[in-house]
Amino acid sequence: MNAPIRPSDLKDPAQSVFGQPRHDWTLAEVEALFELPFMELVFRAAEVHRRWFDPTEVQMSQLLSVKTGGCAENCGYCSQSASFDTGVKAEKLMGAATVIAAAIEAKAGGAQRFCMGAAWRDLKDRDLPKVAAMISGVKALGLETCATLGMLRPDQAVALKEAGLDYYNHNLDTGPDYYDQVVTTRTYQDRLDTLAAVRDAGMSTCCGGIVGMGETRRDRAGLLHQLAILPAHPDSLPVNDLMPIAGTPLGDSAPVDGLEFVRMIAVARLVCPKSVVRLSAGREHMSRELQALCFLAGANSIFVGGKLLTTSNPDQDTDEALLADLGMRPMTMAAN
């Protein structure tokens, strides 16, 4: 049996990030990063962040639920699962005009990327033309486009790319050893297969997970290890802090300690140095100081707007005040 890797055995990642990001991380190495003294870990992550990004910039996204409720999946954190009684009603897919109007409003409010989420296990061919119309309409506004529609076949991924989709979100949720404690209606490999289809179609991937579901630190390391050994690191890496929903199996979950959450952000930055790390769901119950620590540790993206699918999010005025006080500004985006 190999001896465990100690934090002191790790090379300083800041010394090697001028090369290409690594895809050969071991789980033991990722676990050792989590064990670094907190100040040292955040310092290393901040150093790496500055190698690849302007630390004063934050990418702004807005998320709209284009089809709410009635999902056949049993993800234990989700208010939209048909398996749980959460009070969320199943609704029909929105029309393209309604979605495009919401995107116009989001852009006026400062959003740079518009994300469309549907509560589906997988994308049905009958819905593809409607979704494609939404995507092309939002793209025409000059916004980056992102969608999360469940599992995809390779041909569906190609069709979404042709419609103008820039990013596809498909989270791994947690590490592989804890996954079946969260969802049993699709496998880890199903998720990896969808990500492969997205990459092969030439789209950017948005993939991360959730903390606070009862997982251990090793499980969190397992999630980041899986992301770090993908053939291409996620272009966007959302880290969600669980928003417990009454009626779901995880509705009574205890919150994760704030410093532990910052560790998750910092390790994500170290193992996926060129990814845009999104401080995603859960900001509503985070203090300003905790969010500032997350930005220091390498987060450089947030969701704006007062709602994330079915849960709350800080309003525009609150976010503008925080970013102004931190001296941060919207990220300079590449031209579409």
CA distances for 24 relative to 17, 29, 226, 228, 272, angstroms: 14, 10, 10, 8, 12
Contact 78, 105 (CB under 8 A): no
**How far is the C-alpha of 46 from the C-alpha of 300, rounded, in Å?**
11
206 counts as catalytic: yes
**How far is the C-alpha of 120 from the C-alpha of 158, rounded, in Å?**
19
Nearest CA to 20 out of 46, 52, 50 is that of 52
**How far is the C-alpha of 84 from the C-alpha of 249, rounded, in Å?**
8
Q: Point out the catalytic residue in the list 44, 186, 206, 294.
A: 206
Angle at 200 between CA 199 and CA 206, to 5 degrees: 15
Q: Point out the catalytic residue in the list 113, 191, 263, 278.
A: 278
Q: Point out the catalytic residue in the list 44, 71, 269, 272.
A: 71
DSSP characters for 175-242?
A: -TTTGGGT--SS-HHHHHHHHHHHHHTTPEEE--EEE-SS--HHHHHHHHHHHHTSSS--SEEEEEEP
Residue with tokens 């999360």: 148
At residue 79, the 3 state secondary structure works out as: coil
Q: Point out the catalytic residue in the list 44, 75, 207, 272.
A: 75
Residue type, 236: S
Q: Point out the catalytic residue in the list 78, 207, 272, 294.
A: 78
75 counts as catalytic: yes
At residue 163, the 3 state secondary structure works out as: helix
Element (H, E) at 162: helix 154-163
Residue type, 139: K
207 counts as catalytic: no
**How far is the C-alpha of 206 from the C-alpha of 236, rounded, in Å?**
4
Contact 164, 136 (CB under 8 A): yes
| Joined tokens for residue 16 | 């090697």
Catalytic residue numbers read 71, 75, 78, 115, 146, 206, 278
